[in-house]
Amino acid sequence: MSVYLRAYIAHFTVCCLIILSCNTKDKNTVKSIFYYNESNGITSLDPAFSRDIEVMWATHQLFDGLVELDDSMRVIPCIAKSWEISDDGKMYTFHLRDSVFFHPSPLFFDSTHRKVVASDFVYTFNRLLDKSLASPAVWIFKYVDFVDHTGFEAVNDSTLRIYLTQPFQPFLGILAMQYCNVVPHEVVDYYGPDFRSHPIGTGPFRFAFWYEQVALVFHKFDNYWMKDEAGIRLPYLDAVKIDFIRDMTVEYQGLLQGTYDFMSGIHPAFKDELLTPTGELQERFQSQIHFQRSPFIKTDYMGFQMDEKFEITRNSPLMIKEVRQALSMAINKNELVRYLKNNTVFAAEQGFLPPALNPLSQRKYYPYNPERARQLLDSMGVKNQPIEVTITASPDYSDLLEFIQHAWEKLGVKTRIQILQGPALREQSANGQLAIFRKSWLADYADAENFLTVFYTPSFCPAGPNYTHFSNSRYDSLYVLSQSLTDESARNEAYAQMNDILMESAPVIPLYYDQVSHFVRNCIYDFPTNPVNMLDLRRVKKASDEN
């Protein structure tokens, strides 16, 4: 039996189960069901383990937190209707809605629906710090004060306080992460580790059933707290069904045939078939699907090792700032994203910070200028001393290295390519064994601080993410200052200055900012595409004649 036929049978069987099991008074009502495939699979439905995007997407349908991000990455209310931050920036007071209930569960003592109270968040947050749970979220509360205060405090059922040891302005953005979604202690205590497959949350959909490696189904939560502008309770969809087919060809064909309502990202095998060289959807597909995209908070870059203590940097011309600047100018980034990516990413012309996190900067750093690059090298006295360099990446980026090799050899720089498997690349770059290496940085939370910590001196790898070992006292001072600035414009100005310092010193060559790419069936309306690539189905509608 072919993989296509097996996929079709599994899809048809589970669809029948969805329709039969959906709660409805009118058995003839056509259900509005959203279908998609998750080729990477889902390992858990416990928000404490929502590190990977596929888990985040699933838990976002089932759970809510104190706050969330809107499509412009601003922190907005969720279960917390409002909050205040103390003048010293170290105490956060949240006021909870009184209309938020957990999904039904027989484990609730007095009701199948239980209202969320402040102590639920205290339990949820302390659970993340429990070493026996081994959640990857432990780091998010590194500034919470458990010495002079209790850390998390339920003042009453509707008031929650969080105490910090020092001001940290990105903290609200951290609370918007999926890790911080509230869970009920009765259910977690009963199921223990099996809460991963018996989730109870407050989100727009409730758990229905999960056949691991086959399909996962959510049903609409009829008592969800959020309503639209007309007072209609969300969500509009009746159910969500997720397949777990690893073959990307099946997913792609499923999108075109209507089996799936959307596909995220684009596999290189289908890039040229779906998109024009300028990055637009091919005309022949426009009657079936539409293409939505948004800049992603992720930067791909080439990094230089900057620490003179390593053998690979001794007497290296790469330690000369102007040489690094020249190498940056020699790369035509616009041609790179067109040639390698069909314009499905954005040329990184505004520095290391992606545009969505750098609202003040309009400056373009190191535009393509091979003539100026040659002049810089000549001015450094290397005209008669050819430079030899080695650039390193994993096998997936061999074409990128070849593009850079071609650009630099035209400049007179002899360039050798080294391909390492992922583990070896991580180890050698962390230990200062690579002169030039390809890496990317994806923000854990939507604040520029998360990008700028990559170049903070105390973040030297392997203790932190500073693989280049870049160190600048002015940069470090601004980084510390920015964490205590309560005025958003002043903080953005500090971030912009750090970006300037970083780019002037050139420890990295930002290559491109990634893009969120969504291919959506034309029967789907109001599907949001945002810079954090969060799947939010609360307001999504599906045309009834396509269900």
CATH code of 300's domain: 3.10.105.10
Asked which of 202, 228, 245 is the last residue of a domain, the reply is 202
What are the angstrom distances between the C-alpha of 338 and each of 188, 275, 342? 49, 12, 5
Choose among 40, 94, 37: nearest CA to 67: 94
Res 97: pLDDT: 98
Are 303 and 423 within one domain?
yes
Res 73: pLDDT: 86
Res 278: pLDDT: 83
Res 271: pLDDT: 85
Q: What is the mean pLDDT of each run of 10 residues along the chain (547 residues)?
A: 48 51 55 95 96 95 97 92 95 97 90 92 98 94 95 98 94 96 97 97 98 96 97 98 95 96 89 88 95 91 96 93 96 92 87 87 89 91 78 94 96 95 93 96 90 95 92 97 88 94 97 94 95 95 71
Residue 532 near residue 297 (C-beta atoms within 8 A):
yes
Q: What angle do CA 147, 67, 60 make, to 5 degrees?
A: 115
For residue 144, what is the DSSP state?
B
Are 192 and 81 within one domain?
yes
Range of the domain at 425: 296-515
CATH code of 113's domain: 3.90.76.10
Query: What CA–CA distance (Å, rounded) separates 355 from 513?
Result: 9
Residue 56 near residue 263 (C-beta atoms within 8 A):
no
Are 318 and 176 within one domain?
no
For residue 40, what is the DSSP state?
T
Are 314 and 166 within one domain?
no
Number of domains in the chain: 2
Tokens describing residue 201: 């949350």
Are 192 and 304 within one domain?
no
Asked which of 202, 220, 239 is the last residue of a domain, the reply is 202
Q: What angle do CA 364, 370, 375 make, to 5 degrees?
A: 105
User: pTM here?
Assistant: 0.86
What are the angstrom distances between the C-alpha of 538 and each of 64, 401, 547? 12, 42, 17
Residue 41 lies in a domain: no
Asked which of 176, 202, 228 is the last residue of a domain, the reply is 202
Residue 407 lies in a domain: yes
Residue 427 lies in a domain: yes
Residue 523 lies in a domain: no
Res 485: pLDDT: 87
Residue 37 near residue 242 (C-beta atoms within 8 A):
yes
Residue 39 near residue 252 (C-beta atoms within 8 A):
no
Residue 533 lies in a domain: no
Are 465 and 333 within one domain?
yes
Query: What CA–CA distance (Å, rounded) separates 157 from 287?
Result: 52
Choose among 354, 362, 365, 363: nearest CA to 513: 354
